[in-house]
Amino acid sequence: MATLCRPAVAVPEHVITLQQTLDLARSLHADHPQLPLALRLMENTGVQKRHLLRPIEETLRHDGFEARNVVYERESKARVPAVVQEALDAAQLRAQDIDLIVYVSCTGFMMPSLTAWLINAMGFRSDTRQLPIAQLGCAAGGAAINRAHDFCTAYPEANALIIACEFCSLCYQPDDLGVGNLLSNGLFGDGIASAVVRGSGGTGVSLERNASHLVPHTEDWIAYDVRSTGFHFKLDKRVPGTMEPLAPALKALAGQHGWDAAELDFYIIHAGGPRILDDLSKYLGVVPEAFRFSRATLTEYGNIASAVVLDALRRLFDEGGAEHSGRGLLAGFGPGITAEMSLGRWTVSD
């Protein structure tokens, strides 16, 4: 049975607090007619601080799409290897033991993918499979877990490595003044996460079932406009209400497995914002405390896109894990509107 082991997570050294974010918005957009609304939305995110790749004065300066992508490639190569090595160590494996690398990121572009560079730089085998995923946004963390699970189900002795690298601050657009974009300036942070899915052995979540679900006709609710200046984030005001149609999909997945989604032992959920978690608590019928790991990620790091699910799982490990064979749900939500969901039991390796 494939086991999702302890994730490694790293955030950059530059920090911006909620108060600094609000002060910046007031100074940069003093004449914006919807500034009071944007400020209120930022305050309601629950984000107290975020970590940024570069100092704020560099983050606010737009040197062009090409220059930003150079930063993305340079910084991912500088920062990802240490996180990967920590994840390998946690799983008690070496680079040579990995058969598949799933790399997810929606905040920069490289071809060949960073996976090719990592194989050469870190000594992975030359026959290691590569699966880069660039267009699932925040849902990609859940998708990476699911594709690794599928691979290890097909090849029971194989091991898969998951990497999520998100530098959301490289998508800051100073001239994009829509309310959704202003909100994103106070919501998203930068972070890197990595974890191993072992085909056998390992302590963590023993993965048992996964599924995907797309809410029909919502593909333009979360999107990028790709322009000469780079990625422009689009967020529809209806997005916070998506748990009403997605909660039944989570219940159905649990029901197919003979479980009740309201009576599980742990929940590892992508935290796009506090309303997502509040509504999911309501529609699943679980106490708000069940999502404490996701809330902590949101509060301390902001929305770090595909890395959120892995960071929330890391916090479960930090708490000591769940009871042996405790049942859990993992889910990531993103563009589409897409949900990537999985079920598993907490297992402790001998």
**Which pair of tokens denotes residue 66?**
């090409």
Residue 261 pLDDT: 96
Residue 153 pLDDT: 96
Question: Which runs of E-coded beta strand occur in the chain?
Answer: 3-4, 8-10, 14-17, 49-52, 100-104, 129-133, 159-167, 190-198, 204-214, 222-227, 230-235, 266-269, 327-334, 338-347
Cβ atoms of 172 and 237 closer than 8 Å: no
Domains of the chain and any CATH numbers:
3-198 (3.40.47.10), 204-347 (3.40.47.10)
Question: Which residues participate in catalysis according to the annotation?
Answer: 138
**Which pair of tokens denotes residue 12?**
């950059």
CA 22, CA 42: separation in Å to the nearest integer? 8
Backbone angles phi, psi at 331, to 5 degrees: -155, 140
Cβ atoms of 102 and 162 closer than 8 Å: yes
Q: Which pLDDT tens digits describe the chain residue by residue (350 residues)?
A: 899 999 999 999 999 999 999 998 888 888 888 888 888 888 888 899 999 999 999 999 888 999 999 999 999 999 999 999 999 999 999 999 999 999 999 999 999 999 999 999 999 999 999 999 999 999 999 999 999 999 999 999 999 999 999 999 999 888 877 777 777 888 899 999 999 999 999 999 999 999 999 999 999 988 888 888 888 888 788 888 888 899 999 999 999 999 999 999 999 999 788 888 999 999 999 999 999 999 999 999 999 999 999 999 999 999 999 999 999 999 999 999 999 999 999 999 86
Cβ atoms of 201 and 90 closer than 8 Å: no
Residue 193 pLDDT: 98
CA 49, CA 46: separation in Å to the nearest integer? 9
The total of other beta-carbon atoms located within 10 Å of residue 227's CB is 11
Residue 340 pLDDT: 97
Residue 69 pLDDT: 95
Backbone angles phi, psi at 116, to 5 degrees: -65, -45
The total of other beta-carbon atoms located within 10 Å of residue 228's CB is 7
The answer for residues whose C-beta is within 8 angstroms of residue 66's C-beta and 6 or more apart is none
Residue 257 pLDDT: 97
Residue 138 pLDDT: 92
Task: Say whether the peptide bond before residue 337 is cis (omega within 30 degrees of 0).
Answer: yes
